[in-house]
Structure 1
Amino acid sequence: MEYRGDADISKSRVRYGGGSGGRGGRGGKVAVGGGLGGILVLLLALFFGSDIGDLLGTAQQPQPQQSQQQGGAECQTAADIEQNRDCRWQAYDVALTNYWQSAFESGFKPIEAMNIFTGQIATACGTGSSEMGPFYCPGDYEIYVDDDYMGQLLAQLGTERSDAAELYIVGHEYGHHISNLTGDMAKARAGGNQTGPKSGQVRLELQADCYAGVFFNNTLKDPSSPIASVTQDDLDRIVAAARAVGDDHIQAQSTGRVVPESWTHGSSQMRQYWVAIGFNSGDPGSCDTFSTDQLGG
């Protein structure tokens, strides 16, 4: 994946250095509506989670963050990524925010922050930890990513880490933010914590995958986007990442058994299908996973 060197990334909402092990100082339109075994078992419920609130308690108030730094003074343009790899997070945030702002007729609200943390971190949804994988908290409109641990998760799930795979992950979490803004997240939760291939939880995850695909399609057309190009190899890695986080793949690796009735995120095939739907159409309107039984499984 190539970056557009002159793209401004100085105004991102990335915060570095939060968490118990914080590294302080690391440099169509949308209408708005209302050990491996142990790690993988946890991932069944939490990896790429739409929201940790149901598990940790959504009523909690945000707690003070430890030693967090808004943005990075040394990250001014995408060219700075060559000297400081941390700057790529700011490029991701700017690219995602710029596209989704353009996709809304009105009422768009960007995420409040993308937190790059280590260990544990206080959120409006409770205490988040590395083992949860990247997640979005609707209580504070923020995304949380443990940079180091995410690489370990991808490796343990059998896929290679790359900037394209990372951006797919962050794009998926930003997709949950879009579902929150449009009211689809509330719709998915209305039925309770049901599981299974056609449950509201699975439909919400597939919608986030689709939105990630839509973003990739459109950011490549934006001459001001920090993302200049995506190669076929990048696309292959995105597809591999989608495959790696399918419920069936995770279950097979962690327990040796595939139990569709317990799925919360969808199979590898379903997740790849909806990333492709979004990427090929470039239209957020193609991501209505709640009005179809053709979920790609």
Structure 2
Amino acid sequence: MDFRDEAELDSSQVQDAGRGGGFPGGGLAIGGGITGIIALIVALVFGVGSGGGGGEGGQPAGVQPTSNLSEQCRTGADADQSEKCRVVGVVNSIQAYWREALPGYEQAKTTLFSQAVQTGCGDATSAVGPFYCPRDRRVYLDLTFFDQLQSQFGAKGGPFAQAYVIAHEYGHHVQNLTGGLSGGGSVGTELQADCFAGVWTKNAVDTGFFEAPFTDAQIAEALDAAAAVGDDRIQERTQGRVDPDSFTHGSSEQRVNAFKTGYAGGDPNGCNPAGLQ
């Protein structure tokens, strides 16, 4: 996954909040380890629980930037050398695509944090994994998640696995803008976000941030990550059995197929939730 060296990065789309403090607001504190990601992420994605936080699109309560990404992340060359700058580049590309594909698209910031963070949907720890909060329209990401994705869920990892996860969360932002989140959490909603990630992948090179279309090996990283966080794989690891009636994000096969559907068609109109289940 090579960025164009001369591509100009917009670091204002990503905030590095560093290590979060405690939870003075008494909001939704999330715990239980990363094995609880499937159950826990639903609460945050759909705004369950108490929580103050910043206003729509504003800065989350209690968050103060700890590093100046504008000095570190200026070009695609920086994105090839730094994980945080790579996140900036991926976010820039995803939002460049949706600005073209979705009339009236409104940007959403990504907040990088460590251990804990306050959000418009309540307080969260790293245990929930990456998530989107519709109340403040932000994606939240602790980069240590990707190490845990490999060590605890058996994913192969890699830069494009990270890009897939980010694109999935921005899929939730698109759903929020278009009314797709109004029905609450569902397998179809999650599979549509996977499909949207595949759509961005198909169109990513056209956003001007990457040297060339992604390789089959890079696409395989995304498919492997999608499979690793399928409900059936996680339930088998954590419970020793699979209960399809309790699925929240879809099986490994469903998640892989949803991404493939988006990638093959390259059109968000082909990501009908009902047709992905």
Secondary structure at the counterpart of residue 124 of structure 2: strand
Aligned match for 1:45, one of 39, 43, 67: 39
1: distance between equivalents of 2:81 and 2:197? 27
Output one character per residue of 1:78-130: Cα deviation in whole Å (capped at 9) or x when no partner. 1113443321011011101100000023x21010x211110100100001110
Compute the displacement of 1:150 (Å).
Answer: 3.0
Compute the displacement of 1:40 (Å).
Answer: 5.0
Secondary structure at the counterpart of residue 233 of structure 2: helix
1: distance between equivalents of 2:258 and 2:53? 34
CA contact (8 A) 2:79 2:88 kept: no
1: distance between equivalents of 2:261 and 2:226? 13
- The yes-or-no answer on 1:247 pairing with 2:241 is no
Secondary structure at the counterpart of residue 209 of structure 2: coil
Structure 1: runs of 5 or more not aligned: 22-37, 190-199
Q: Identity, % of aligned pairs?
A: 36
Equivalent residues in 2 for 1:35-74, closer than 5 Å: 39=33, 41-46=35-40, 51=45, 53-54=47-48, 56-57=49-50, 60-62=52-54, 63-69=61-67, 71-74=69-72
Say if 1:210 and 1:227 are closer, same or farther in 2 by CA, change over 3 A.
farther
Output one character per residue of 1:227-286: Cα deviation in whole Å (capped at 9) or x when no partner. 633111111111111100100010001111100111110101111111011000000100
RMSD, aligned α-carbons: 2.2
Compute the displacement of 1:220 (Å).
Answer: 2.2
CA contact (8 A) 1:48 1:173 kept: no
Give the corresponding residue for 1:141.
137
Give the corresponding residue for 2:116.
120
Equivalent residues in 2 for 1:21-36, closer than 5 Å: none
- Alignment length, in residue pairs? 262
CA contact (8 A) 1:60 1:124 kept: yes
Q: TM-score, normalised by structure 1?
A: 0.82
1: distance between equivalents of 2:13 and 2:262? 25
Secondary structure at the counterpart of residue 185 of structure 1: coil
- The yes-or-no answer on 1:208 pairing with 2:193 is yes
2: distance between equivalents of 1:123 and 1:273? 32
CA contact (8 A) 1:18 1:115 kept: no
Compute the displacement of 1:73 (Å).
Answer: 1.1
1: distance between equivalents of 2:203 and 2:82? 26
Give the corresponding residue for 1:295.
276
Say if 1:206 and 1:83 are closer, same or farther in 2 by CA, change over 3 A.
closer
Secondary structure at the counterpart of residue 229 of structure 1: coil
2: distance between equivalents of 1:18 and 1:100? 28
CA contact (8 A) 2:34 2:128 kept: no
Secondary structure at the counterpart of residue 245 of structure 2: helix
Give the corresponding residue for 2:212.
228
Compute the displacement of 1:152 (Å).
Answer: 1.4
Instruction: Point out the structure with the larger helix share.
Output: 2
CA contact (8 A) 2:116 2:123 kept: yes
- The yes-or-no answer on 1:180 pairing with 2:176 is yes
Give the corresponding residue for 2:9.
9
Give the corresponding residue for 1:34.
none
Give the corresponding residue for 1:26.
none
Structure 2: runs of 5 or more not aligned: 22-31, 55-60
Give the corresponding residue for 2:76.
78
1: distance between equivalents of 2:264 and 2:149? 28
Q: TM-score, normalised by structure 2?
A: 0.87
Give the corresponding residue for 1:265.
249
2: distance between equivalents of 1:156 and 1:245? 11
